[in-house]
Structure 1
Amino acid sequence: MGKIVPLQQAVAENLKPGDTVAFEGFTHLIPHAAAHEAIRQGIGDLTLIRMTPDIVYDQMIGMGLARKVVFSYAGNPGVGLLRRMRDAIENGHPRSIETVEHSHSAMAQAYEAGAAGLPCAIFRGYKGAGLKAVNPDIRSVICPFTGEELAAVPAHRPDVTFIHAQKANRRGDVLIEGIIGVQKEAALAASRVVVTVEEIVEDFAGLHPNLCILPHWTITAIAEVPGGAHPSYAHGYYDRDNAAYLDWDKVSSDREAFAAWMQDNVLAVGPEAFADRVKGLRK
């Protein structure tokens, strides 16, 4: 199967400097291994799109790969700030970044519009919200049928979307169980789609067909990376590593500590390290 390749190849062939890219997963199945490979390859000047950017984008921003972030709520889930993102915004370290903030609903609607090939998303929202004052991409339109004022935002159309999933079969179909978030829409909205998976299986015999949310013809490349969502969780495989999120608050609060952590845990290791990190968390 030509779509199944090593992670290094999947990233090098599909992510280019200056791309608009989404690394999506909502609490669950966040594609950390793919983001780490992008960091190792030093692919920068990126526009990063993500609902709830958490530590995966904190790391990419802290390594200077981002020029712009389109997002809804930025934080270390259950802990606090994204300190590397804040340092970039407030102090321009290691470079200044542009930010475009939306609500969760607007981000999901924008992905869905992109997946449908539409130029914008139209929905009820943002009435009385302060975000309109700082985000010129939030516009209003009048419904031609009811006369109601509705919100409109540009569709998300990433050059490439990265997601993590539980399984892919040899044909290249992708199976996700548990919380899906916006992975399907983010993938269908993109020009290229790279999926990391816990395992490659021969087929999905005996599994409910609705679990396979992305057929092979929507996927550009697949890489088998056990543990590739760590420290987030993969339903049926391993739990969320809450300690890692708590530790990140300390690591990311200091520039030198951050640089040392990235050297030891990202730059000096490969994707195979993820399997070891989830050993104590496996179901």
Structure 2
Amino acid sequence: MNKFVPLSQAVKENLNDGDVVAFEGFTHLIPHAAAHEAIRQGRKDLTLIRMTPDIIYDQMIGMGMARKVVFSYAGNPGVGLLRRMRDAIENQYPRGIETVEHSHSAMAQAYEAGAAGLPLAVFRGYKGADLPKVNPAIQSITCPYTGEELATVPSHRPDVTFIHAQKASARGDILIEGIIGVQKEAALAARRVVVTVEEVVPDFKGLHPNLCILPHWTVNAVAVVPGGAHPSYAHGYYARDNATYLEWDAISADRERFAAWMEEHVMQATPDAFAERVQGL
């Protein structure tokens, strides 16, 4: 089966209403184009997992797509609040959402446990912290070997994970250069994996083999979307668009302005628009 499909087809065939879904990327290679396609297709009742929900989850929450968000930090990086997320929590607009908050370490451990097929992650953490008081998913166990009390959290097992990468090989292997967050673990923990890429190359000959984070048999679909991480950056392709992050604070603060922006830049746009946005960055 051909893994290389248009983004609209990749989303339609792999993301369903009610799914548990991760759109992962840490500062770098955030899969904005994939999330915008999910918004255009009107997916709803999603459980969104992400280590650092930033403006892409703000957009999805603001469009009423999420019923639950599992996260470790929520904010507009370097700017401030996620105003659409806050409106949903405080005012149930456009709908209320459930939130489950973890530490960065716990989120990474939960992805790794999911990738290993384990039901939970066990680690040292949360000692002296107040987060377990508000998150009943944080439990503890006693090590049967040492007697030490250790923290546990349920593993993450998304129905589908979306990531963005620089390159795919002709057979569908995925390569990332630069910062790698939890993309590999989030993908291997998922039942289905969709990757958007800047380009397809014949193979990765001459490149360091450790740059290939996912072999082709772990990936369900690959869509070529140049600029698909904008306004985050893709190492070697385009810089972070800091102006967009600054502008988002004012856009997201007003419900009507937010709706107008989403209509123009998401609902009436196509994946091709991302390539235009990164020109000159």
TM-score per shorter chain, which class?
A: over 0.9
**Structure 1 equivalent of residue 253 of structure 2:** 253
**2:92: which partner in 1?**
92
Shift of 1:97: 0.2
Aligned to 2:130: 130
| CA distance, structure 2, for counterparts of residue 169 and residue 110 of structure 1 | 29
In structure 1, the residue matched to 2:15 is: 15
Where 2:50 maps in the other structure, the secondary structure is strand
4+ residue stretches of structure 1 with deviation over 4 A?
none
Distance 1:209 1:106 in 2: 29
Residues 227-242 of structure 1 aligned to structure 2 (within 5 Å): 227-242=227-242
Please report the TM-score for the alignment, with normalisation by the length of structure 1. Answer: 0.99
Alignment pair present for 1:277 and 2:277: yes
TM-superposed CA distance for 1:170, in Å, is 1.0
Query: How far apart, CA to CA, are the structure 2 residues paired with 1:180 and 1:48?
Result: 20
**Aligned residue number for residue 47 of structure 1:** 47
Amino acid at match of 2:151: A
Q: Distance in 2 between matches of 1:225 and 1:40?
A: 16
Q: 1:90-114: CA deviations, max 9, x gaps? A: 0000000000000000000000000
Structure 1 residues 106-255: aligned runs within 5 Å: 106-255=106-255
Q: Aligned partners of 2:11, 2:198: CA distance in 1, in Å?
A: 17
Equivalent residues, number = 281
Q: CA deviation at 1:278?
A: 0.3
> What do the CA deviations read for 1:185-223 (whole angstroms, capped 9, x no partner)?
000000000000000111111111111110000000000
Tell me how far apart the structure 1 counterparts of residues 183 and 276 of structure 2 sit (CA, whole Å).
Answer: 25
Q: Equivalent pairs: percent with the same residue?
A: 81
Deviations 1:147-202 (A, max 9, x none): 00000000000000000000001100000001110000000000000000000111
CA distance in 2, matches of 1:117, 1:2: 27
Distance in 2, Cα, partners of 1:203 & 1:114: 29
Q: Is residue 73 of structure 2 the alignment partner of residue 77 of structure 1? A: no
SS of 2:144 mapped into structure 1: coil
SS at match of 2:253: coil
1:42 is displaced (CA, Å) by 0.3
Give the whole-Å Cα distance in 2 for the aligned partners of 1:124 and 1:133. Answer: 17
Aligned to 2:101: 101
- Counterpart secondary structure, 1:180: coil
Q: Which one-letter code corresponds to 1:163 in the other structure?
A: I
Q: Secondary structure at the match of 1:205?
A: coil
Shift of 1:117: 0.3
- Could you say which residue in structure 2 is the equivalent of 1:26? 26
- The alpha carbon displacement at 1:140 in A equals 0.4
CA distance in 1, matches of 2:178, 2:190: 22
Which amino acid in 2 is paired with 1:110?
A: A
Cα separation, 1, equivalents of 2:216 and 2:109? 24
- Provide the secondary structure at the position in 2 that maps to 1:252: helix
Could you tell me which amino acid in structure 2 is paired with residue 178 of structure 1? Answer: G
Q: Does 1:63 align with 2:63?
A: yes
Structure 1 CA distance, aligned partners of 2:127 and 2:256? 43
User: Secondary structure in 1 aligned to 2:105?
Assistant: helix
Structure 1: where are the runs of 5+ without partners?
none
Q: Residues 39-62 of structure 1, C-alpha deviation per residue, up to 9 Å, x if partnerless?
A: 000011000000010000000000
TM-score by length of 2: 0.99
Structure 2 regions of 5+ residues with no counterpart?
none
Residues 51-103 of structure 1 deviation map (CA, whole Å, 9 limit, x = unaligned): 01000000000000000000001000000000000000000000000000000
